[in-house]
Structure 1
Amino acid sequence: MTLAPRVVLVHRRTEYEELVARHGTPGQAAFFLTSRGRSAREVEERHRRQAQALAGAAAAVPLDWRRSRVERADLPRFLFEPGDVVAVVGQDGLVANVAKYLDGQPVVGVDADPGRNPGVLVRHRVDGLAGLLRAAARGEGAVQERTMVEAVADDGQRLLALNEVYVGQPGHQTARYRLGTEDGASDAAGAEAGAGEAQASSGVLVGTGTGATGWCRSAWLERGGPVVLPAPGAPALAWFVREAWPSPATGTGHVHGVLEAGRRLVLTVESEHLVAFGDGIEADALELVWGQSVRLGVAATRLRLLG
Structure 2
Amino acid sequence: MNIEKIIVITRQTRLEESIKRFNTISQAKYFVESRGQSFDDYVTEYDNYQRARDALVRSIPSEMRFQVIDRTMLPNFLFGPGDLAMPLGQDGLVVNTAKYLEGQPVLAFNPDPERFDGVLLPFIWHSAVAVIRQTLEGKLGSRSISMARADLNDGQHLYAFNDFFIGADSHVSARYTLRFGDSSERHSSSGVIVSTPAGSTGWLSSLYNMAAGIQDFASGSPSVRTRKLPINKSPGTKKSSGENKKGMDTSGNGSGTSNHGVSPGAMQWEARKLIFMVREPFRSNWSGADIVAGEIGESQELILESHMPEGGVVFSDGMLEDFMQFNSGTTVQIRLAEKSTRLLVP
| TM-score, with structure 1 as normaliser | 0.89
> 1:292 corresponds to which residue?
330
> 2:239 corresponds to which residue?
none
> 2:155 corresponds to which residue?
156
What secondary structure does 1:87 align onto?
strand
- Specify whether residues 272 and 132 from structure 1 end up closer, same or farther in structure 2 by C-alpha distance, changes over 3 A only: farther
Alpha-carbon separation, structure 1, partners of 2:137 and 2:271: 27
Shift, 1:148, TM fit: 0.5
> 2:64 corresponds to which residue?
65
Cα deviations across residues 126-146 of structure 1 (Å, max 9, x unaligned)? 132234334444554201111
Which amino acid in the other structure matches residue 280 of structure 1? G
- Specify whether residues 48 and 173 from structure 1 end up closer, same or farther in structure 2 by C-alpha distance, changes over 3 A only: farther
Moved more, 288-297 or 87-96: 288-297
> 2:285 corresponds to which residue?
248
Which amino acid in the other structure matches residue 282 of structure 1? L
* 8 Å Cα contact 1:76-1:284 kept in structure 2: no
Alignment of 1:115-134 (within 5 A): 115-134=114-133
Which amino acid in the other structure matches residue 198 of structure 1? R
Q: Which runs of 5+ in 2 are unaligned?
A: 216-263
- Specify whether residues 172 and 149 from structure 1 end up closer, same or farther in structure 2 by C-alpha distance, changes over 3 A only: farther
Cα deviations across residues 139-177 of structure 1 (Å, max 9, x unaligned)? 542011111111112222221111011112233532111
Alignment of 1:132-171 (within 5 A): 132-171=131-170
Shift, 1:199, TM fit: 0.7
* 8 Å Cα contact 2:146-2:271 kept in structure 1: yes
Moved more, 21-30 or 286-295: 286-295
Give the alignment partner of residue 186 of structure 2, picking from 171, 194, 198: 198
* 8 Å Cα contact 2:60-2:132 kept in structure 1: yes
Alpha-carbon separation, structure 1, partners of 2:35 and 2:326: 41
> 2:243 corresponds to which residue?
none
* 8 Å Cα contact 1:230-1:236 kept in structure 2: no
- Specify whether residues 48 and 172 from structure 1 end up closer, same or farther in structure 2 by C-alpha distance, changes over 3 A only: farther
Moved more, 295-304 or 137-146: 137-146
Q: Which 4+ stretches in 1 moved above 6 angstroms?
A: none
Alpha-carbon separation, structure 2, partners of 1:170 and 1:153: 17
Which amino acid in the other structure matches residue 177 of structure 1? Y
> 2:233 corresponds to which residue?
none
- Specify whether residues 249 and 35 from structure 1 end up closer, same or farther in structure 2 by C-alpha distance, changes over 3 A only: same
Determine whether 1:219 maps to 2:207.
Answer: yes
Shift, 1:277, TM fit: 1.4
Alpha-carbon separation, structure 1, partners of 2:20 and 2:322: 23
* 8 Å Cα contact 2:201-2:266 kept in structure 1: no
- Specify whether residues 9 and 150 from structure 1 end up closer, same or farther in structure 2 by C-alpha distance, changes over 3 A only: same
Shift, 1:79, TM fit: 1.4
Which amino acid in the other structure matches residue 206 of structure 1? V
Alpha-carbon separation, structure 2, partners of 1:249 and 1:260: 29
Alpha-carbon separation, structure 1, partners of 2:323 and 2:61: 36
What secondary structure does 1:223 align onto?
helix
Q: Which runs of 5+ in 1 are unaligned?
A: 185-192
Moved more, 85-94 or 166-175: 166-175
- Specify whether residues 139 and 264 from structure 1 end up closer, same or farther in structure 2 by C-alpha distance, changes over 3 A only: farther
Which amino acid in the other structure matches residue 306 of structure 2? V
Which amino acid in the other structure matches residue 334 of structure 2? L
> 2:16 corresponds to which residue?
17
Determine whether 1:50 maps to 2:49.
Answer: yes
Alpha-carbon separation, structure 1, partners of 2:169 and 2:64: 42
Alpha-carbon separation, structure 1, partners of 2:284 and 2:10: 46
Alpha-carbon separation, structure 1, partners of 2:284 and 2:173: 13
Alpha-carbon separation, structure 2, partners of 1:173 and 1:9: 41
Moved more, 91-100 or 122-131: 122-131
Which amino acid in the other structure matches residue 288 of structure 1? F
Give the alignment partner of residue 280 of structure 1, picking from 288, 296, 318: 318
Which amino acid in the other structure matches residue 313 of structure 2? V
